[in-house]
């Protein structure tokens, strides 16, 4: 077994040699590019593989396609290829397969995210000198690893209601506080001896992002956080939610700004401030209600006696009616067609008179008849949104994503430790 403490130092040296092969690829012979860069548990990674992945990384992240850039990113490219080999081998060991439909769906999402016309993904790659086969290999490896995590890691994670309550309590306790929407790039440092090389890469990435490279594209290719799939978008956070160094960096940024590399417990991170806002309390007018209505038609110019008679009829029809099912049947019988499901509105979208009635109307009880231009209306609130605060499902997914990301990195670290990695360049 390869000595683990110096694997990534050797990877860095090997990748620098591989980068040289990439830089002179236009004059290299087929024999040169097919030289072995590394062997991972008997699986070969060639100089050609490094070259093709480098082109993908540079093209998709908006980095300048220069020999210097190739040299800088080569260590991370080779690390990624070794990690993908380990992930794919583990997926195969667990009999996890990726079918063509899953690859096609992933390509469709890539096309949508990058505004590529549907079905033109391969043309898009070829115009940029990127190998279609290499891109598909990367997509397949990512899908396999996500399926592996879904099968082996996600079922072991439980997000308790008390954890969600704690997050909601923290949010409620900080009303009026400024919030930040943050993007991140995480470069893990599994071995302290590798920190210098990884920090050099991080500085280079920051420099390129500040001069125009796409942060989301760089995150998708380089970040090892669970947010990489969404371009590094962490979502909205509040001061104190992240490590002190990250909080300090974020609060000092202008919108669109990018931090210098930051040493954290998980590795070296780069953050960007996507947006900021004040954490205001919930707006009561945004509360949703589900309604059914009955309308007894009378002319807008009807005499007062006819209006009073229709109001009395509406009261008689709905007297003793309880629940939206019975109410809907009465309304149908009296000329008001009913949809299969109650209509859903936010209070702010209702006319002032109707809003005033339904915001306090008991659920399942008919309202007092209301004179409208077209007739007499009776409404019933079938359901009223109770919680205007943070979405519990969204919080649950955020906590789950963070937990999966942490356990994924541990899983991969264990695979590296058990692996045989032989570097040949």
Number of residues in the chain: 425
Any idea what DSSP says for residue 102? H
Q: How buried is 54 (Cβ within 10 angstroms: 0-12 exposed, 13-18 middle, 19+ buried)?
A: buried
Beta bridge mates, 356: none
What is the pLDDT, as a whole number, of residue 389? 65
- Model confidence at 153, pLDDT cuts 50, 70, 90, reads very high
Same domain, 103 and 217: no
What is the pLDDT, as a whole number, of residue 23? 46
Any idea what DSSP says for residue 232? T
Cα 97 from Cα 91, distance rounded (Å): 7
Beta bridge mates, 344: 290
Same domain, 272 and 302: no
Same domain, 10 and 148: yes
What percent of the chain has pLDDT above 70? 91
Cα 70 from Cα 183, distance rounded (Å): 25
How confident is the prediction for the chain on average, in pLDDT?
A: 86
On the question of pLDDT at 76 being above 60, the answer is yes
| For residues 130-157, average pLDDT | 93
Same domain, 115 and 135: yes
Cα 7 from Cα 114, distance rounded (Å): 35
On the question of pLDDT at 192 being above 90, the answer is no
Residue 155, classed as helix, strand or coil, is helix
Lowest mean pLDDT segment, chosen from 21-25, 111-115, 176-180, 255-259: 21-25
Same domain, 130 and 199: no
On the question of pLDDT at 424 being above 80, the answer is no
Q: What values do phi and psi take at 293, rounded to 5?
A: -140, 155
On the question of pLDDT at 379 being above 90, the answer is yes
Angle formed at CA 138 by CA 74 and CA 396, multiple of 5 degrees: 105
Q: Is residue 135 part of a domain?
A: yes
On the question of pLDDT at 35 being above 90, the answer is no
Q: What is the CATH number of the domain that holds 245?
A: 3.10.50.40
Helices 67-93 and 7-23, packing angle to 10 deg = 130
Beta strands in 127-254 (DSSP E): 178-187, 233-237
Q: Is residue 393 part of a domain?
A: no
Last residue of a domain, one of 154, 189, 224: 154
Question: How many domains does one find in the chain?
Answer: 3
What is the pLDDT, as a whole number, of residue 275? 94
Q: Is residue 258 part of a domain?
A: yes
What percent of the chain has pLDDT above 90? 47
Beta bridge mates, 294: 378
Any idea what DSSP says for residue 34? T
Cα 221 from Cα 79, distance rounded (Å): 12
What is the pLDDT, as a whole number, of residue 24? 39
On the question of pLDDT at 319 being above 70, the answer is yes
pLDDT in tens, 324-361: 999 999 999 999 999 999 999 988 889 888 888 998 89
Last residue of a domain, one of 105, 123, 154: 154
On the question of pLDDT at 7 being above 70, the answer is no
Q: How buried is 222 (Cβ within 10 angstroms: 0-12 exposed, 13-18 middle, 19+ buried)?
A: buried
Find the domain containing 245 and state its range: 176-280
Last residue of a domain, one of 233, 262, 280: 280
Same domain, 311 and 353: yes
Same domain, 276 and 293: no
Same domain, 235 and 325: no
Beta bridge mates, 289: 345, 384
For 406-416, letters b (16+ CB in 10 Å) and e give ebbbebbeebb
Cα 54 from Cα 24, distance rounded (Å): 13
Same domain, 44 and 182: no
What is the pLDDT, as a whole number, of residue 32? 56
What is the pLDDT, as a whole number, of residue 33? 56
Q: Is residue 163 part of a domain?
A: no
């Amino acid at each position: 077994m390869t000595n683990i403490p110096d694997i990534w130092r050797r990877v860095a040296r090997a990748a620098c040699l591989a980068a040289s092969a990439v830089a002179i690829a236009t004059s290299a012979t087929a024999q040169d590019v097919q030289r072995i860069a590394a062997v991972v548990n008997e699986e070969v990674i060639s100089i050609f593989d490094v070259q093709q992945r480098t082109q993908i990384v540079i093209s998709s992240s908006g980095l300048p396609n220069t020999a210097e850039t190739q040299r800088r990113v080569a260590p991370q490219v080779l690390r990624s290829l070794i990690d993908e080999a380990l992930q794919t081998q583990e997926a195969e060991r667990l009999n996890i397969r990726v079918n063509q439909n899953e690859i096609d769906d992933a390509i469709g999402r890539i096309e949508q995210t990058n505004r590529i016309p549907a079905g033109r993904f391969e043309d898009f790659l070829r115009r940029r000198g990127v190998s279609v086969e290499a891109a598909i290999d990367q997509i397949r490896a990512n899908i396999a690893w996500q399926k592996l995590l879904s099968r082996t890691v996600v079922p072991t994670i439980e997000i308790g209601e008390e954890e969600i309550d704690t997050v909601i309590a923290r949010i409620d306790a900080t009303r009026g506080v400024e919030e930040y929407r943050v993007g991140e790039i995480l470069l893990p440092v599994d071995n302290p001896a590798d920190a210098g090389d990884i920090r050099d890469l991080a500085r280079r990435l920051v420099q390129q992002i500040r001069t125009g490279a796409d942060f989301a594209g760089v995150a998708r290719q380089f970040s090892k956080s669970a947010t990489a799939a969404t371009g590094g978008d962490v979502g909205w956070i509040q001061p104190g939610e992240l490590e002190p160094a990250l909080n300090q960096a974020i609060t000092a940024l202008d919108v669109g700004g990018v931090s210098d590399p930051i040493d954290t417990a998980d590795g070296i991170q780069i953050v960007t401030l996507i947006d900021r806002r004040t954490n205001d309390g919930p707006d009561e007018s945004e509360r949703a209600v589900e309604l059914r209505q009955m309308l007894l038609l009378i002319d807008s110019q009807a005499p007062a006696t006819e209006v009073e008679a229709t109001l009395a009829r509406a009261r008689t029809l709905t007297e003793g009616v309880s629940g939206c099912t019975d109410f809907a049947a009465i309304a149908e019988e009296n000329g008001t067609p009913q949809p299969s499901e109650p209509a859903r509105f936010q209070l702010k979208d209702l006319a002032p008179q109707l809003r005033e009635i339904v915001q306090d109307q008991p659920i399942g009880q008919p309202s007092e008849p209301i004179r409208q231009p077209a007739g007499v209306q009776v409404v019933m609130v079938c359901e009223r949104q109770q919680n205007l605060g943070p979405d519990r499902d969204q919080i649950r997914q955020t906590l789950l994503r963070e937990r999966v990301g942490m356990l994924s990195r541990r899983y991969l670290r264990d695979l590296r430790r058990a692996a045989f990695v032989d570097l040949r360049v």
